[in-house]
Amino acid sequence: MFLSIEKVTKQFKNRENKAETVLTDIDLQVKEGEFVSILGPSGCGKSTLLSIVAGLTPQTTGELILQGKQLKGPGKERGMVFQQAALFPWLTVEENVMFPLRKELSKKDALERAHKYLSLVQLSPYAKHSPHELSGGMQQRVSIARALAMDPALLLMDEPFGALDEQTRSRLHEVLEEVFLETKKTILFVTHSIHEALKLSDRIVVMGTQPGRILDVIELDFPRPREQAREELVKYEDRIKGLLKSEIDKVIEKEQQYATSR
């Protein structure tokens, strides 16, 4: 198996210094070249799980194995794209994409690589621009190009389009789908949007909350582009909404308990 997440749990200390379980019994297998979304209500531990796979947050128990090797800490075989593009404002677009390549490639090769991926995300004309001259969606495309330029085996994306308006988001879904089909990268993608997950994924991992755990893994066995399969989409959407309903109720109930206890 390309990526195995085995019996992973995570506890954080809460404000009273008591251990609180955020993730429990996470078992997930990801095949090479798969697009897997992690979907669930706010606070169910999606970002924590992705951060554990990235090696940025240590798990409390359990194991992660990528391409036969046990994961310990971060590594360049995993690229990460966050909700905010986090570009260096003093560098141009192409310099931002070249930046992580500076140690392993000559300047000429790094530039060539940067342009390959800028072209893939349709930003070649903006190579010499500064990040502040770009829209939020364009900046996010630069950060996708930067992550891809490292040629990671696994691309981890944490709500990469969460801060964008609906139209830009929709355009970037198309860009990401093109990138996915072209590069055949394995992608683990965190979202709380059912539509986004249905549009992009081969499989959707639906998570529940309190504690965060996997409720179901849904295989989307109908062809891309997904928008054309309206009936299929509605069927899957209803199934996911059914799974999430009681989870969202739990979040609301906790919120109400908190409000009445004040």
Q: Is the dihedral of CA 86, 88, 92, 98 positive or negative?
A: negative
- Residue 233, both tokens: 């989409």
Q: Which is nearer to ligand ATP, 10 or 113 (CB)?
A: 10
Q: Shortest approach of ligand ATP to residue 97 CB, angstroms?
A: 27
Residues near ligand ATP, by CB under 6 A: 12, 22, 40, 42-48, 192
Amino acid (one-letter) located at 48: T
Q: Which is nearer to ligand ATP, 114 or 200 (CB)?
A: 200
Question: Torsion angle of alpha carbons 252, 24, 51, 141, nearest 10°?
Answer: -50
Q: Which is nearer to ligand ATP, 26 or 142 (CB)?
A: 26
Q: Shortest approach of ligand ATP to residue 91 CB, angstroms?
A: 28
With beta carbons less than 8 A apart as the criterion, state whether 198 and 37 touch. Answer: no
Q: Which is nearer to ligand ATP, 118 or 190 (CB)?
A: 190
Q: Shortest approach of ligand ATP to residue 61 CB, angstroms?
A: 16
Q: Omega before 125 cis (within 30°)?
A: no
Q: Is the dihedral of CA 146, 148, 151, 154 positive or negative?
A: positive
How many CB atoms within 10 Å of residue 69? 10
Q: Shortest approach of ligand ATP to residue 178 CB, angstroms?
A: 26
Q: Which is nearer to ligand ATP, 42 or 230 (CB)?
A: 42
Question: What DSSP assignment string belongs to 56-105?
Answer: SS--SEEEEEETTEE--S--TTEEEE-SS----TTS-HHHHHHGGGTTTS
Q: Which is nearer to ligand ATP, 101 or 197 (CB)?
A: 197
Phi, psi angle pair for 234, to nearest 5°: -65, -40
Q: Shortest approach of ligand ATP to residue 40 CB, angstroms?
A: 6
Q: Which is nearer to ligand ATP, 48 or 139 (CB)?
A: 48
Q: Shortest approach of ligand ATP to residue 46 CB, angstroms?
A: 4
Query: CA angle, corner 30, sides to 200 and 50, nearest 5?
Result: 75
Q: Shortest approach of ligand ATP to residue 12 CB, angstroms?
A: 3
